[in-house]
């Protein structure tokens, strides 16, 4: 058994932007995920962070093939997960389960907890006998800290934290190897958030699970992950162990991100130096040339940054960074400078070079 | 006398055939010019209802507001609708959480800013447009001349929130109420907005009431902090003593349950057990008692009174002794 459970190779997900009423024409692409490589070892927690629109959720969904990736593959336990299909894919899905962000909308309001938990077992022929299934359900509920009376209840009867526990129990039911948790705690209040974070950690110890945790909250990710990958506009910009990443962030974006997170301690807050980023995240439909971050980077240089896309390279053992000038920034040779914010176009964000001829909808076609 | 004095503010929601619900239960606080006061708490603690009550934005039917909200000597709760409309936007500004739903989607940003200037300062449209441009510039919107003609959907989330702040500031109000102004935004954008707000308080001497659930934001911005739980202030202190020595078990538990960036790896979080649904009504004791690790018998029998302890207000029978680690989680 190899140490690596998941290996993602050059994963790309591009969503087409279509226009036209009778014949769909593709006028551009949203480059949601644009070439990501990562490896997750057995039993570890890999955290994926980034701001909204950076492609972290799309990457997670593409790995599970909830969205079909445009290019690249994912090797799961030595098998090419992106090549299999049909019955084989369905069987394989037992081993990769997902926990979603919003616990209310990811649970069917008309199914009781029992039926939610049994559904997966039935689909994978694990519902052999009544006694065995009953025992399994009770085990699951006690593992996630819910009373057995919960079985007959419906999702609306629970609080947010308890609903998320049901979602976790559903993912656990099939004895998966990998659990992909997409923003598992961001919909919860802080006091409840800690309960779910602790539960995820306990379950990992108990069942030897491997996690891919996707979240925007770097403090939460740092707390539960062994290794963290930081995403910006469809690509990984830095990858390191969680201690390393916090102790010595190498990519300018990670530095800015870390400095922007408020710490609940006025002593720390008063002393901190903030690296304020100028402007907004550029549109993934029209990403900047070269390094995706160069439009907002306070360390941007005259050469290379706007022409060459940096690759993820290992600067020190276990610490990878995608920046041309990482060494010089680290040694202090390059100092940050002021950045003027650049206008970011909202809306469809298609490159202005593409002519938008022809109607986009029936209404437009009828009223030219 | 402080600029804004809120005394014993109580909001009771009453629906036909249902038990009345006390969303805000005797909240009192003062705000001085140039000061930032925080109202912190989790969802359902009554922090947003407090702000709506101060602004007179609660529906007349169904919501009963009692207590006094005196602004510069006048009780806002006693003003007529017409008088209140004159004040809102001129003396009192408000920034809401979701900028997309609080901006009018079919009116360009420029008109939404000038509307306030024309209504309250009687400026002609042309002059107001120039002022609007300066305002957008001040809150850090690049290329304001173009942005004035655009509609809310054409702006990003951070830009919309800036536009909303610009509208709130148009008449240089002495008091600004910000209800979760950064919750819908990404952290790097949040840092930008918070910097803008900090500068405003410093440069214009605006009094700011900051409503948030994020203790990190409070730690960096507020002078005085009110921690709300189930409609009552359970602890009130200046920010340094509050964070270094939280005394109320709820504040203490809240701080222990937040993962901190500067914590060592492997440090376990200590959550507060249960959830808000376990609360008991304040009339029967302490609402937090069922979730409290320090609960005594007296906690479920007698409602704790607000006590002044060395410049800190505390509502607890058995406060946390400074320096104790958070209680271990009891399995539910």
A81-125 pLDDT, tens digit per residue, is 988 988 999 999 999 999 988 888 899 999 999 999 999 999 998
pTM of the model: 0.86
Using an 8 Å Cβ cutoff, are B92 and B172 in contact? no
Using an 8 Å Cβ cutoff, are B309 and B246 in contact? no
- Report the C-alpha gap between A95 and B206 in whole angstroms: 57
Residue listed under structure tokens 């603690």? B45
A261–B261 C-beta distance less than 8 A: yes
What is the pLDDT at residue A356?
54
State whether residue A262 sits within 8 Å of chain B by CB: yes
* Chain A hits for B158, Cβ within 8 Å: 280
- Report the C-alpha gap between A296 and B177 in whole angstroms: 31
Interface ipTM = 0.83
Lowest mean pLDDT among A23-37, A137-151, A337-351: A337-351
- Report the C-alpha gap between A207 and A191 in whole angstroms: 25
Q: What is the mean pLDDT of chain A?
A: 88
CA distance A208 to chain B (A): 17
CA distance A348 to chain B (A): 10
- Report the C-alpha gap between A231 and A51 in whole angstroms: 8
DSSP per-residue string spanning A112-168:
-HHHHHHHHHHHTT----HHHHHHHHHHHHHHHT--GGGGGS-GGGS-HHHHHHHHH
State whether residue A193 sits within 8 Å of chain B by CB: yes
Reported as a pLDDT band with limits 50, 70 and 90, residue A350 is low
What is the pLDDT at residue A347?
47
* Chain A hits for B216, Cβ within 8 Å: 261-264, 269
Question: Considering CB atoms only, which of B143, B216, B240 is closest to A264?
Answer: B216
Per-residue pLDDT of chain B (332 residues; tens, 9 = 90+): 789 999 999 999 988 888 888 999 999 999 999 999 999 998 889 999 999 999 999 998 889 999 999 999 999 999 999 999 999 988 999 998 888 888 999 999 999 999 999 999 899 999 999 999 999 988 888 888 889 999 998 888 888 988 998 999 888 899 999 999 888 788 888 888 898 889 888 988 999 999 999 999 999 999 999 999 999 999 999 999 999 999 999 999 999 888 888 877 677 888 888 888 788 888 889 999 999 999 999 999 999 998 888 889 999 999 998 877 765 544 43
Size of interface A-B (CB pairs under 8 A): 157
pLDDT of A63 strictly over 80: yes
> Which of B45, B187, B329 to mutate: most A Cβ within 10 Å?
B187
A342–B188 C-beta distance less than 8 A: no
Cα angle, residue A58 at apex, residues A54 and A63 outer, rounded to 5°? 130
* Chain B hits for A267, Cβ within 8 Å: 240, 243-244
State whether residue A260 sits within 8 Å of chain B by CB: yes
Nearest to A276 by CA among A295, A290, A293, A297: A297
What is the pLDDT at residue A20?
74
Q: What mean pLDDT comes out for the span A198-216?
A: 93
What is the pLDDT at residue A284?
86
Q: What mean pLDDT comes out for the span A34-57?
A: 92
> From residue B68, how far is each of A292, A328, B56, B76, B271 by CA, in Å?
54, 60, 12, 8, 36
CA distance B127 to chain A (A): 26
Task: Give the number of C-alpha atoms closer than 13 A to the C-alpha of residue B243, restricted to the C-beta side.
Answer: 23
pLDDT of A352 strictly over 70: no
State whether residue A290 sits within 8 Å of chain B by CB: no
B191–A274 C-beta distance less than 8 A: yes
What is the pLDDT at residue B330?
45
What is the pLDDT at residue B331?
42
Using an 8 Å Cβ cutoff, are A326 and A312 in contact? no
CB atoms inside a 10 Å sphere around CB A261: 18
Nearest to A251 by CA among A277, A273, A226, A214: A277
Instruction: Pick the more confident residue, B136 or A352.
Output: B136
What is the pLDDT at residue B281?
87
Quote the percentage of chain A above a pLDDT of 90: 57
Helices B157-169 and B187-204, packing angle to 10 deg: 10
What is the pLDDT at residue A361?
61
Q: What mean pLDDT comes out for the span A268-276?
A: 86
């Amino acid at each position: 058994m190899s140490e690596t459970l998941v290996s993602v190779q050059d994963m790309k997900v591009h969503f087409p932007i279509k226009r036209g009423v009778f014949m769909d024409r593709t006028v551009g692409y949203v480059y949601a995920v644009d070439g990501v490589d990562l490896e997750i070892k057995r039993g570890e927690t890999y955290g994926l962070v980034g701001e909204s629109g950076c492609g972290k959720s799309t990457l997670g969904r593409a790995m599970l093939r909830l969205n079909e990736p445009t290019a690249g593959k994912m090797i799961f336990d030595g098998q090419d997960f992106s090549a299999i299909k049909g019955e084989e894919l369905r069987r394989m899905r037992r081993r990769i389960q997902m926990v979603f962000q919003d616990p209310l909308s990811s649970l069917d309001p008309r199914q009781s907890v029992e039926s939610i938990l049994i559904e997966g077992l039935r689909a994978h022929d694990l519902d052999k006998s009544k006694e065995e299934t009953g025992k399994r359900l009770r085990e699951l509920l006690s593992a996630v800290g819910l009373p057995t009376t919960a079985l007959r209840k419906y999702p609306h009867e629970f609080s947010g934290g308890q609903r998320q526990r049901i979602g976790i129990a559903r993912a656990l039911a099939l004895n998966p190897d990998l659990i992909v948790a997409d923003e598992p705690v961001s919909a919860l209040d802080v006091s409840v958030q800690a309960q779910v974070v602790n539960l995820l950690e306990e379950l990992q110890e108990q069942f030897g699970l491997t996690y891919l945790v996707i979240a925007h909250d770097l403090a939460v990710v740092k707390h539960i992950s062994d290794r963290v990958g930081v995403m910006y506009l469809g690509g990984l910009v830095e990858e390191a162990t969680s201690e390393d990443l916090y102790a010595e962030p190498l990519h300018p974006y990670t530095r800015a991100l870390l400095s922007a997170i408020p710490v609940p301690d006025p002593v720390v807050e008063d002393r901190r130096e903030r690296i304020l980023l100028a402007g907004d995240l550029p549109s993934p439909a029209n990403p900047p040339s070269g390094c995706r971050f160069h439009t907002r980077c306070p360390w941007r240089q005259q050469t290379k940054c706007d022409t060459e896309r940096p690759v993820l390279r290992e600067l020190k053992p276990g610490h990878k960074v995608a920046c041309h000038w990482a060494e010089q920034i680290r040694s202090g040779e390059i100092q940050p400078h002021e950045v003027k914010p650049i206008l970011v176009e909202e809306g469809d964000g298609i490159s202005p070079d593409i002519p938008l001829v022809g109607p986009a909808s029936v209404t437009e076609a009828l009223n030219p | 006398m402080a600029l804004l004095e809120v005394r014993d503010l109580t909001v009771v929601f009453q629906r036909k055939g249902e038990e009345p619900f006390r969303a805000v239960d005797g909240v009192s606080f003062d705000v001085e010019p140039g000061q930032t006061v925080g109202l912190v708490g989790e969802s359902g603690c009554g922090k947003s209802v407090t702000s709506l009550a101060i602004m007179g934005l609660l529906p007349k039917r169904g919501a009963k507001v009692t207590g006094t909200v005196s602004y510069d000597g006048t009780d806002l709760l006693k003003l007529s609708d017409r008088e209140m409309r004159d004040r809102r936007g001129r003396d009192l500004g408000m920034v809401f959480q979701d900028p997309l739903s609080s901006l009018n989607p079919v009116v360009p940003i420029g008109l939404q800013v000038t509307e306030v200037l024309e209504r309250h300062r009687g400026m002609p449209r042309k002059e107001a447009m120039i002022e609007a441009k300066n305002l957008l510039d001040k809150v850090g919107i690049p290329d304001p001349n173009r942005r004035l003609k655009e509609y809310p959907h054409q702006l990003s989330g951070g830009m919309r929130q800036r536009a909303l702040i610009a509208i709130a500031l148009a008449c240089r109000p002495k008091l600004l109420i910000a209800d979760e102004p950064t919750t819908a935004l990404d952290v790097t954008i949040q840092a930008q907005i918070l910097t803008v707000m900090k500068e405003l308080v410093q440069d214009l001497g605006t009094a700011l009431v900051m409503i948030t659930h994020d203790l990190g934001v409070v730690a960096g911005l507020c002078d005085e902090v009110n921690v709300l739980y189930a409609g009552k202030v359970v602890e009130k202190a200046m920010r340094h003593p509050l964070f270094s020595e939280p005394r109320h078990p709820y504040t203490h538990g809240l701080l222990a349950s937040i993962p901190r960036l500067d914590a060592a790896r492997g440090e376990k979080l200590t959550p507060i057990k249960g959830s808000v649904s376990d609360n008991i009504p304040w009339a029967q004791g302490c609402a937090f008692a069922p979730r409290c690790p320090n609960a005594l018998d007296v906690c479920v029998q007698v409602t704790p009174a607000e006590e002044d302890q060395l410049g800190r207000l505390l509502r607890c029978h058995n406060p946390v002794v400074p320096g104790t680690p958070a209680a271990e989680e009891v399995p539910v």
